[in-house]
Amino acid sequence: MKLNAGKAMTLGVVTCLAALGLAGAAAAQAQDQQTPKGWNYEIKDGKRVPKANRITNPDGSWREELKQGNCVTIKERSAAGEYKETRQCNPNNPS
């Protein structure tokens, strides 16, 4: 009788560990999903984070605008690799 109880307990522990492993894998997969095209936000850590509007030029330079409330952050990189970031806030213009 003790042998059967030991096997049942081992089987129960293995089943619980397998269930936890599958739940963890499902949670990791949910965080790695891409937001569909056309949406203005992406999901990170279960929260909505606004996406930036990036325009890339053929020479490798790019410009990115990110709106957060009344503020706009503009990030630019030239073809030579020079990086510039500016932030403008307008308290009178709620977005």
Geometric angle at alpha carbon 70, from 65 and 75, rounded to 5°:
20
The answer to whether residue 88 scores a pLDDT higher than 90 is yes
Quick count: other Cβ atoms within 10 Å of Cβ 43? 14
Over pLDDT 70: what percentage of the chain? 75
- pLDDT tens for 3-20 read 577 777 777 777 766 666
Residue with the larger pLDDT of the pair 53 and 57: 57
Instruction: Tell me the average pLDDT across 89-95.
Output: 73
